[in-house]
Amino acid sequence: MYLFLLLEYMGRRESLSVENKKTIINMHNDGKNQREISILIGCHKCTVSRVIKQHKESDYLMGHKSGAGRPKITSQRDDRVIGRIVRKHRFTTLTDYISDAEHVGIKISRATMQRRLSDMGYKNRVPYKKPLVNAKQRKKRLDWCKTHMQHEVNYWENIIFSDESQFCIPIGEHGKVWRRKCEELSPLCTKKVVKHPGNVMVWGCMSSKGLGHLIFIDGKVNSAEYQRILTEGLLPTIEDTFMRQHCIFQHDLAPAHASKSSKIWLANQQLDVLPWPANSPDLNPIENVWRDIKFAIRSAAYLPRTKEELKNVIKATWEKFKVKDCRKLIHSMPGRCKTVIKMKGYPTKY
């Protein structure tokens, strides 16, 4: 009796899709009785009977009726007002949206507000972290991309991209934990926190010919230290990969890079430097290499616990990076420029 009432309730509440109705008709044509079909589909026998009758009378299977069910409590005007509230305040809570709607005369429950936002395509997600770009920087990014978007792939293949990055020793597990009520303070279920975890700073460069030399940095990077890094990392890379062919060097606008002595050093080496807009990590393909290395560190079977172990993992991952992957990243430069222009100078997905 309970199973009958449950199936009757399901039959009344849930509307069968057109695909399920076609399956019922096919089973009926294959000789199965209505009881067998109802068990296989998971609906009441009366529902199977109605579908077969509907097919015999009209030879047409209709889905959920338009307008069936309880009418919406909000009008089209209310939905437009809610949409304006959401677009105006993105970083807020569902409770605040309900409060703002009540101020303009729209009484709405939490569940209904959530459904309206879902109908509009809004989902509550963790925002991406992107650098702050002011109006002046946006203009320079746009001008740079419009100028360099016209270059052929051969132009980008002659550029050596460089950057520094910092890697930290991973401490403990990340995310949520499955535990019982009495295990709140168990060492197996707590997240370990260290005030000053060990970290390693590196400098690297890449081109369409592959990754260059990787240099580990101790301490802060001033002009003298940066010139030492270029001497040990950039010059050997140019000699090994470009073999005295013409190439262009890229670096960002960090103080050590843009200092007067560093500019003189680059000029003495007869190196052409690519002009670079500020706050533009999305235009530098080597950022994707740093991301892959950090992912490899987190996903390693054995997490590094010391600086030396961390350096070994970084170096091993760097050496495994394939030339074809570097070439693919370099060839993405025209697409990066187009995306920046499309975003009107704001940060992109890269």
7 against 174, higher pLDDT: 174
Judged against a pLDDT cut of 50, whether residue 264 lies above it is answered with yes
pLDDT in tens, 165-202: 999 887 655 566 767 777 777 777 776 665 556 789 99
DSSP structural state of residue 240: I
Has residue 110 got a pLDDT over 50?
yes
pLDDT at 50: 87
Residue 4 pLDDT exceeds 50? no
Mean pLDDT confidence for 20-44? 86
Report the DSSP pairing between strands 272-273 and 248-250: parallel
pLDDT value, residue 14: 58
User: What is the average pLDDT score of the chain?
Assistant: 86
pLDDT greater at residue 342 or residue 8: 342
For residue 22, what are the contacts with CB-CB under 8 A and spacing of at least 6? 61
What integer is the mean pLDDT of 121-143?
Answer: 90
Q: What percent of the chain has pLDDT over 70?
A: 89
User: Which is more confidently placed, 12 or 2?
Assistant: 12
Is residue 38 predicted with pLDDT exceeding 70?
A: yes
Closest CA to 176 of 189, 164, 162, 163: 189
17-28 mean pLDDT = 85
pLDDT at 344 over 90: yes
Radius of gyration, alpha carbons of the chain: 31
Per the model's pLDDT, the better-predicted residue between 255 and 129 turns out to be: 255
Rounded-to-integer distance, Cα 21 and Cα 73, Å: 31
- pLDDT attached to residue 7: 42
Could you tell me the pLDDT band of residue 2, with boundaries at 50, 70 and 90?
Answer: very low
Query: Within 13 Å of residue 128, how many CA atoms lie on the same side as its CB?
Result: 8
Identify the weakest region by mean pLDDT among 75-89, 92-106, 150-164, 179-193.
179-193
Q: Topology of domain 135-342, per CATH? A: Nucleotidyltransferase; domain 5 (3.30.420)
Residue 159 pLDDT > 90: yes
Does residue 142 have a pLDDT over 70?
yes
Residue bearing the bigger pLDDT, 208 or 57: 208
Residue 34 predicted with pLDDT over 60:
yes
Give the Cα separation of 239 and 272 in Å (integer): 15
The sign one gets for the Cα dihedral 42, 43, 49, 51 is negative
Percentage with pLDDT > 90 across the chain: 54
**pLDDT, tens digit (0-9, with 9 covering 90-100), for 276-313:** 999 999 999 999 999 999 999 888 878 888 889 899 99
Q: What is the pLDDT, as a whole number, of residue 192?
A: 63
Number of C-alpha atoms within 13 angstroms, CB side, residue 279? 18
Contacts 24+ apart (CB under 8 A), 294-299: 294/167, 297/167, 297/170, 298/170, 298/174
Q: Which residue has the higher pLDDT, 9 or 250?
A: 250
pTM equals 0.70
Which helix (H) or strand (E) element contains residue 166?
strand 159-168
CA distances from 94 to 81, 97, 110 (A): 15, 5, 7
Check: CB of residue 203 under 8 Å from CB of residue 227: no
